[in-house]
A and B are shown apart, each in its own frame.
Chain A
């Protein structure tokens, strides 16, 4: 990543503690990282790694498989069917999309308003 004009390198040196604390500034990026980690302590250990890329490759598609859905319903019996959860785009494990999670059927194709 390119260096921003506002970044300051942490102070180096073997001066006494007080000196170091005065000179050292946290870069905005690091401060933001700390904020994020505070909110989501379990966030992936490998930043920008497989998780992101997998999400990218799936790119928000919604799977609905009636076979899976019906089998899950049969298995669950009295229990609630697990919905896709807060991140509807990433379907993993036992979470399968249910008809409620799917977007509305697209409307009929009409002419673009740019051509109007």
Chain B
């Protein structure tokens, strides 16, 4: 299989000297067909891009993504009872599979999940009897004839409306939401608990996992991410801050505190350090599209696990191992707690994750080759091929390499997304969204 050449396609967002915190992108997600691409930001806003139809006249230009809809999903709230501010930052967006003309997505902040309906309106009724075209009520005594209103075309309008609000079910901060393959339920996970919801019911949810100890002093680990199996509606996994993954089967019991499978890589005790547990904390877990594997991201690596083998991952990829000798300063500036996500490509043959300095990494599972690319305005000429980047670890630095000490740790790529079937990727670089595509010959 020939290596893919990645090209710049588009970049969204502004080039500001100072980044407004609200503009920082906090989640990116393609829908199931790849036609839509949603982003959420710290300001609680969702922006949805739609891929334009490919033009036969310009076959070399693959469909570009243009703004389709934008709305304020969550607003800042204040919990008066606890004197706590609830951030409006969108932690996750998950699309529902399309079942009719409208699109549905779930968006969540720390406390509340919302189901949004995004629909198009391209016709409107005209010729009402009781009101004018501009909505003013007509004087009934002036009406002498009745007519039937007709639908006439209008300029396309895309509306987003909140259809359900799932609130007050989480004491701790929601880190994940996952739509079940039954399309009737979904789960939301916070640091200590996972709840199962029915889309139709907002005033109740089932608690399916609860790891809160009776005495909080005994707390040793928290839930970091959770996801449903792509095909088996009874199966889900959740990861922990201790680097473990538990697979649960909802058929065994109502409360899935006892796992069906427990994935953990044995640690070499002689290598243990103060940082060991922190860097082993899993920041993201994702099922492969096939449902046979799970991928986990911890601070320095990405691992692929076979569901049939619990005692170790089948593949481990080093994302930025050169940071191992920088852990002290990364702990001091809190970067060691950064939560990177990871994604599969459509065929599960390549995995991608972000790093610092606006670098992101791809690992081809078949060829075992990897590449480091950069999301930067400097490489933003249309269809410009991205040049692989290399970090130099001590010793002589070649001309186009960058040394570890020159890396910009404020430029972190935490969120990326891969089109479900094509080689199109979306990379969130702080307040900018980059879209890259493979080279079309």
Contacts and interface: CB of A to CB of B under 8 A. Distances in A.
Q: Do A and B bind each other?
A: yes
Interface stretch (B128-136, B283-291, B316-324): B316-324
Given A9-B270, A49-B220, A31 B70 contact: no
Contacts of A63: 82-84
A1 B243 contact: yes
- For this complex, into which size category does the number of interface residues on chain A fall? 35 or more
Q: Which 3 A-B pairs have the closest CB atoms?
A: A48-B277, A28-B325, A32-B327
A23 interface: no
B274 A36 contact: yes
B255 interface: no
A71 interface: no
B83 A112 contact: no
A56 B222 contact: yes
22 contacts: A2-B298, A3-B268, A5-B321, A9-B270, A27-B271, A30-B273, A33-B274, A33-B275, A36-B274, A36-B327, A43-B274, A48-B242, A50-B217, A52-B278, A53-B220, A53-B241, A54-B219, A111-B45, A113-B13, A114-B25, A114-B41, A114-B70
Interface in A1-43: 1-7, 9-10, 27-33, 35-37, 39, 43
A77 interface: no
Contacts of B67: 114-115
Q: Is the interface of B mostly helix, strand, loop or mixed?
A: mixed
A57 B325 contact: no
B12 A2 contact: no
A49 B218 CA distance: 9
Nearest to A38: B328
Given A1-B243, A4-B324, A56-B191, A10 B220 contact: no
B433 interface: yes
A5 B318 contact: yes
A107 to B, nearest CB: 8
B327 A61 contact: no
A75 interface: no
A29 B271 contact: yes
A59 interface: yes
B246 to A, nearest CB: 17
A114 B70 CA distance: 9
B301 to A, nearest CB: 4
Given A1-B243, A53-B222, A112-B70, A29 B273 contact: yes
B265 A2 contact: yes
A62 B85 contact: yes
B279 interface: yes
A26 B300 CA distance: 19
Interface in A61-112: 61-65, 106-107, 109-112
Nearest to B191: A57
B47 A115 contact: yes
B221 interface: yes
A2 B328 contact: no
B301 A2 contact: yes
B331 interface: yes
Nearest to B325: A28
A39 B84 CA distance: 33
Contact of B43 (A1, A7, A30, A109): A109
Given A29-B275, A32-B325, A114 B72 contact: no
A91 to B, nearest CB: 10
B280 interface: yes
Nearest to A35: B328
Nearest to B221: A53
B206 interface: no
Nearest to B110: A59
Interface in B415-441: 431, 433
A3 B325 contact: no
Given A113-B14, A114-B433, A1 B271 contact: yes
B83 A36 contact: no
Contact of B328 (A7, A27, A32, A115): A32
A61 B82 CA distance: 11
Contacts of A4: 300, 318, 321, 324
A81 B14 CA distance: 42
Interface string B93-105: 0000000000000
Q: Which of B67, B110, B173, B325 has the most CB of A within 10 A?
A: B325
B276 interface: yes
Contacts of B239: none
Contacts of B303: 2
B76 interface: yes
Contacts of B280: 1
